[in-house]
Amino acid sequence: MTGAVPASASPRRLDAVVRGRVQGVGYRVFVVRAALDLGLTGWVANLPDGAVRCVAEGSLPALEAFAVRLRAGPAAAAVTTVLMAWPRPTGEFRDFSLRAGGHSGD
């Protein structure tokens, strides 16, 4: 045994922009609930162009499950695109929060 931590257990970071009918339909609350359910930390916010952006950190399996939920959204949403980036995790978050609209980033 090498004592190495499996890659899937190492912290990862997902930065996603979700487009479609995602504002005014409870999408951000849906994202917060999904993140908390999966044990993720980070934030979600509306963007001025009508999209929603979220940044989440946690294990790769949890983030992959989160991405599936982002694509589905709540019943009233109509997700057309989820753009995902996988930057390095920072460990800066203690919980998962809903931020005010138009948030420009970390």
Q: Are 57 and 93 in contact (CB under 8 A)?
A: yes
Q: What is the set of active-site residues?
A: 28, 46
Please tell me the predicted confidence (pLDDT) of residue 71: 97
Q: What's the pLDDT band for 100 if we cut at 50, 70, 90?
A: confident
CB neighbours of 4 closer than 8 A, spacing ≥ 6?
Answer: none
Please, what is the average pLDDT of the chain? 91
How would DSSP label each residue in 6-44?
Answer: PGGGS-EEEEEEEEEE-SSSSHHHHHHHHHHHHT-EEEE
Q: What's the pLDDT band for 106 if we cut at 50, 70, 90?
A: very low
Please tell me the predicted confidence (pLDDT) of residue 1: 44
- Would the pLDDT of 3 be above 60? no
Q: Which amino acid is at 8?
A: S
Architecture of the domain spanning 8-89: 2-Layer Sandwich (3.30)
Q: CA 85, CA 37: separation in Å to the nearest integer?
A: 22
Instruction: Identify the bridge partners of residue 21 per DSSP, sorted by sequence position.
Output: 78
Residue 105 φ/ψ region, left for φ over 0, alpha for ψ in the -120 to 50 degree band, beta for the rest = left
The residue-averaged pLDDT of 80-106 equals: 87
Residue 3 φ/ψ region, left for φ over 0, alpha for ψ in the -120 to 50 degree band, beta for the rest = left
Tokens of 24: 């005014």
Q: What's the pLDDT band for 102 if we cut at 50, 70, 90?
A: low
- Would the pLDDT of 10 be above 90? no
